[in-house]
Structure 1
Amino acid sequence: MLSLNPWFDQENTIRGFQYMFRLAEFKGSDKGLLVNGEVKIVAQVDVLEVIGTLDVPPEKPKSIDINGFQVPSSQVESVNSLFEKYPGFASKVCLKNPHLRNKYLNDVLCLNEILCKSPEELSNGDLAGAYSALQCVTKAGFKLDWLEKKLKETGVTRLQEIEQELKDLKIKCADMDALLDFLR
């Protein structure tokens, strides 16, 4: 029988082994590890101390039905605000699975939050991710004209900023070229 006695605690956090036994030992008939093509592994774990309450299931957040979407209480105000401002934005959502419906609604909330930021706060990756997410939720049936408009405006603003940065860099480059020509 194979016996391992590793000790894991705060000071010794390395887990795992390069190997527990060699393949030859595993396949060898004299060791008895492989019997009739099957392996039975038995392990004993001694728990010295339990910290925390991992065995207690977390309390489920309460959800409220808003227009067929199960919304966590923490998002009720945001979702109500969306339905008040854009009453029909979710009227063509044809997803039957409630988890998918809620996931897409959450994506809409995230998009709305992201696009409320100033263009300076958003990276090019943020904009690309927002555009991709917008396409997904639109395919799911959400009517998000206002978000698409905001995304385009933000993209145009970002493009203008990049163009200005490029002009500034070209001027600096020309100045450096002139200085090099002068020094030669």
Structure 2
Amino acid sequence: MEEKLLKRISWVFEKFSYWQVGERYYSSTFAVAGCSWHIFACREGDKKDDHLSLYLELVDVPQSLPHGWKRDVKFSFTLVSKAKGKSNKTLGGQVCFDANHTSWGHTKFVSLTKLRAEDERFLVNDKFIVVAEVHVLPAKVVPAETVKVSEPDGASKDNLDEDDDTSKDGSDDETCDVNGFEVSSSQVESVRQIFKSHPDIASGFRPKNQQIRRAYMNELLSLIETLCQSPEKLSEDDLSNADDTLADLIDVGFKLDWLKTKLNEVSEKKKMEKGSVARIQKMEVQVQKLKLIFSDLETRLQKEKSEALTARAPLSFDDVVC
């Protein structure tokens, strides 16, 4: 029996009104079947035919995979509606990833008219939530051939059930409830530690939909992961995005004064690190100049010593009489 691997990721895409046509906006990277993946969204089309596009992309391939590797993947995207009585929008398909085909998706996942529709409530406060389910079959080597994507309609057996919020048999993404949040098994200890240190963190967070709750918890965990990086690795854009994410989480009801303090601390460390790097570079230039001066002085000193030894040497008897 072939082993199947499953991963479900929920992601909040923000500031949609600022998105540029054709520019990609990425989720965090996640691991499935030993490979790294992410989802990305973008606006496609013109003013008469604008759509939201969603893609699954293979980011990193282990070197252990043999030449000619392929990955059969069944995946779905669900656009979450916050409106009561309204359905989420789900599209799925089964595709084959290889070295030449590392991203698959739906160019016209949903029209922007429908995305922005007030009664659909897909886009709320300039944000929308996407849940991606990724089933990966074991790697295999097959003869090279043309790969085609399958985009089945809602009745197809390849379409994943949009209402199913539980892990399936054989998956690597079992979920547990931690203080009312359904989180993956790999996140349980982290989420428990957050609630242990800050019991009232979600007391003002109102959404009941588990997909929405999970998306915001993923956003919180991703923010904490960002702050755990070395300031040297963080860019100004990273810190700006972290500040926006923090504001978003506070806006939906999380109590994060403690995290704001930590973000300020990391920002100050980044300023210190940036200032130190500039001073170190300046000092290194000065040291190099001093080394050149020292080297030149050392050469002159050795020359002077040589000339002094010559001047001090007495004439021999032969030198005098000859």
Determine which of 156, 168, 177 is the counterpart of 2:268: 156
Q: 1:166 deviation in Å? A: 4.8
Q: 1:170 deviation in Å? A: 7.4
**Is the Cα–Cα contact under 8 Å of residues 119 and 154 in structure 1 kept in the other structure?**
yes
Residues 1-184 of structure 1: pairs in structure 2 closer than 5 A: 61-166=173-278
Distance 1:170 1:75 in 2: 44
| One-letter amino acid matched to 1:142 | F
Deviations 1:135-160 (A, max 9, x none): 11111111112211111011112122
2:182 is paired with a residue whose SS is: strand
Q: 1:168 deviation in Å? A: 6.2
Q: 1:101 deviation in Å? A: 1.0
| Normalised TM-score (structure 1) | 0.57
| One-letter amino acid matched to 1:74 | S
More strand by share: 2
Distance 1:84 1:66 in 2: 11
Unaligned runs of 5+ in 2: 1-97, 102-144, 151-157, 161-167, 286-322
**Is the Cα–Cα contact under 8 Å of residues 89 and 144 in structure 1 kept in the other structure?**
yes
**2:314 corresponds to:** none
Distance 2:274 2:232 in 1: 11
Deviations 1:50-94 (A, max 9, x none): x9xx96977553211111111111211111111111111111101
Deviations 1:115-139 (A, max 9, x none): 1222123222221111111111111
Distance 1:153 1:62 in 2: 35
2:202 is paired with a residue whose SS is: coil
**Is the Cα–Cα contact under 8 Å of residues 92 and 141 in structure 1 kept in the other structure?**
yes
CA gap of 1:80–1:98, structure 2 versus 1, over 3 A, is same
Distance 1:164 1:118 in 2: 14
Distance 1:161 1:97 in 2: 42
**Is the Cα–Cα contact under 8 Å of residues 115 and 147 in structure 1 kept in the other structure?**
no
Distance 1:102 1:56 in 2: 22
| Normalised TM-score (structure 2) | 0.34
Percent of aligned pairs with the same amino acid? 40
| One-letter amino acid matched to 2:212 | L
Distance 1:166 1:56 in 2: 54
CA gap of 1:75–1:168, structure 2 versus 1, over 3 A, is closer
Distance 1:67 1:150 in 2: 23
| One-letter amino acid matched to 1:101 | R
Aligned residues: 127
| One-letter amino acid matched to 1:145 | D
